[in-house]
Amino acid sequence: MAPADRSTSQRKQCTDCASMVCRLPRNAGRALIWIYRHSLSLLVGYNCRHLPTCSVYGDEAIERFGLWGGGWMTLARLLRCHPWGTSGIDNVPFTTPPGARWYLPWRYGRWRGVNAP
């Protein structure tokens, strides 16, 4: 193997390792949702008022926006999922809500209604 090829492969390994470390919180959050789905959710049954279910919503939000942003979106969704709350189709937004910053976490959540701004 030529020296240039060796340095390229080492750089790729370093990049892969850094990417894995960056994705660790995201994967930990998704693992908690997976554990819920395969344990407590089986005992409670299907009770979600929204489509997709809250666990699917949380998994997708955390995958798309990371543990911090997706976690706040999931919290807002869980707080809307009660007998007097919203119901219906409520998809994860494709982009970060306007004004959402890491130091303003409440702006990540959709607190008012289904697919409301």
Specify whether the CB–CB gap between 51 and 90 falls below 8 A.
yes
Q: Is residue 10 part of a domain?
A: yes
Q: How many whole angstroms separate alpha carbon 78 and alpha carbon 81?
A: 5
Q: Is residue 69 part of a domain?
A: yes
What's the domain range around 63?
Answer: 3-107
Q: What is the total count of domains within the chain?
A: 1
Q: What is the DSSP letter of 33?
A: H
Q: Is residue 78 part of a domain?
A: yes
Q: Is residue 117 part of a domain?
A: no
Q: Is residue 46 part of a domain?
A: yes
Q: Is residue 115 part of a domain?
A: no
Helices (H), the chain: 3-22, 24-37, 40-44, 54-80
Residues 6 or more apart in contact with residue 27 via CB below 8 angstroms = none
Q: What is the residue-level pLDDT of the chain in tens, covering all 117 positions?
A: 555 555 565 556 567 777 777 788 898 999 999 999 889 888 877 778 888 888 999 999 999 999 999 999 999 998 888 888 888 888 999 998 888 888 888 888 887 776 655
Q: Is residue 114 part of a domain?
A: no
pTM to 2 decimal places: 0.78
